[in-house]
Amino acid sequence: MRGAGGGVNSKGQPEILEPCGQDFGEEEKMIPIKMKHWIDTATYEELLTKWRFAPSGNPWFQGEVGKYYGEVMSKKKKEVGDIAHTRASKNIGWNR
């Protein structure tokens, strides 16, 4: 199910939204399709990099997108395991 949401992109066009695939109760939550696609296809290291270096208030970590991001990241962290998580963290570092 796809449809126009309440948001607009940088060109002033309506954003295309997609269900985030999570059960949040009666109301189906929607997030921008491009953001969902990136989250779904990103590696754990890519997710961790964005998580670590995004500025405070970044829209990737707000509202339904933020909830979905956190859930997918947690799932992928469990899939890769502790050793791969530590390796990814060391690869990324803390300085940009």
The domain total for the chain is 1
Predicted confidence band of residue 26 (pLDDT cuts 50, 70, 90): very low
Cβ–Cβ under 8 Å, residues 29 and 64: yes
Residue 65's domain spans which residues?
Answer: 3-92
Q: What is the pLDDT of residues 53-62, one digit of tens each?
A: 999 999 999 9
pTM above threshold 0.75: no
